[in-house]
Amino acid sequence: MDIFLAILQVIIIIGLPLLLLKFRNKKPIKAIGTVGAAYLCGIVIALIMFGINKAGANVSFNADIGEIGSHAAIGVAIPLLLFGTDFVALKRLSKRSLGSFGLLTVSVIAVSVCACFAFASVLDDSGKLAGMATGLYTGGTPNLNAIGSILGVAQEIIAVSNLSDMLIGGIFYVFLLTLCKPLLSKILKAEKPAVYMTGDEEVENIDDFGEIPDKKKLIIAVLIAVGMAAVGAGIGVLIWVLTGSVQGKLNDYLVPAVMVTATVLGLVASFNKKLRKIKGTSLTGHYLILVFSVALSMSMDFNDFNLDYVYIFLLFTTITLGTFILHVILCKIFRIDADCCMITLTAGVYGPAFIPAVAKQAGDEKLIPVGLLCGSLGYAIGTLLGAGLGFILP
């Protein structure tokens, strides 16, 4: 039975993300996003297992498969997602555009720190969760998951954090597409600039999953990403050996080393034009994020459900709303117009994939490349920024 369950678990972890990508444009999945759908499916599976056990059976998935699979997936996904980032193009952003994204970053950090202390009495991991939120709202879901792994946060807490973001993020996104522009237009009355960025070169959406014209090049890129994760693993083992090879402590060094090394090397590699131009790295990286999401969420044990889960949702809700309010206030002080405020907010809180829809809603598609570049920058800095904050906060 254990072998059968382990095989079934691996099939689900590998196969379900493929199905979600195949049907990503269907209404149910498109409404909540592929990552949200992955977590939802995993939670449903975990609930089914919980119900079977409550009925008297004694069956469970292998926790090691879920943990090892999720860490391996996110470690390889990080550099793949960073390979397509064109940092040279950032110099084309106007001071207003880059300044607005900088104000958003300041807002996220300030609100996250305040939330850490506000929830410290009810959440033991409030500092780590604040760091995860910082990475999430300057970059995206991959940053949150990587930071959680770096800081050694329990898998259940990472899964609940993702679920919380999915719930509050869905509600706030509806606000962005409906009431946000009319509201900001009344508050931020600064004149729109003639241009938000210089040059007419097209900016690629790193979250846009197109066709893969050269699979051999993609395989090479994947192998490079695997190599980067392997280098990180080697560094982690070396640190463990140098600190005395304490039994049971290997993961404490291995996982953070893999995530940090993969992030740094992925950033460095993105300056290689040939590697940056390979099609399919973002799609492959996104697939691995879905693998991580499914592996993590289906491993949840609802016997451990407690009030902390509610507080985690409240913390992420507080940070989302607090970031929005503080960012608007700072944009008012620094005379940033409503459209620029709205698009840079979207770039940080949601990432590049959501930029086109919000730019169209704002009535200015010239903002799309601004949002795409700011979203790419957020992916790049989010993990290191959030992990650093998580280590500093109590």
| One-letter identity of residue 39 | Y
Contacts of 36 (CB under 8 A, 6+ apart): 166, 170
What secondary structure does DSSP assign to 55-85, as a single string?
A: TT------HHHHHHHHHHHHHHHHHHHHHT-
Please report, for residues 94, 136, 204, 294, 374, the alpha-carbon distance to residue 366 in angstroms, rounded to integers and kept in the order given.
Answer: 13, 25, 14, 36, 14
Describe the chain by its helix, strand, coil percentages, rounded to 5. 75, 0, 20
> Can you tell me the distance from the alpha carbon of 235 to that of 217, in angstroms, rounded to the nearest whole number?
27
Tokens of 177: 């597409």
**DSSP structure class, residue 354:** G
> Can you tell me the distance from the alpha carbon of 336 to that of 113, in angstroms, rounded to the nearest whole number?
24
Does the model's pTM come out above 0.85?
yes
The enclosing H or E element of 159 equals helix 155-178
Tokens of 9: 């678990």
> Can you tell me the distance from the alpha carbon of 380 to that of 268, in angstroms, rounded to the nearest whole number?
10
Contacts of 317 (CB under 8 A, 6+ apart): 164, 168
Per-residue pLDDT tens digits of the chain, which is 394 residues long? 578 888 888 899 999 999 999 888 888 887 777 888 888 898 889 888 888 888 877 777 777 787 788 888 999 999 998 898 888 888 888 889 999 999 999 999 999 999 999 999 999 999 999 999 999 999 888 899 999 999 999 888 998 998 899 889 888 988 998 899 999 999 998 888 877 887 655 666 555 666 676 789 999 999 999 999 999 999 999 999 998 888 877 877 888 999 999 999 999 998 998 998 888 888 899 899 999 889 888 877 777 677 888 999 999 999 999 999 999 999 999 999 999 999 999 999 988 888 888 888 878 778 888 898 898 899 889 999 999 999 999 8
> Which of 165, 127, 138 lies closest to 389 in space, CA to CA?
127
What phi and psi, each to the nearest 5 degrees, are found at residue 199? Answer: 85, 155
Give residue limits of the domains in the chain.
63-392
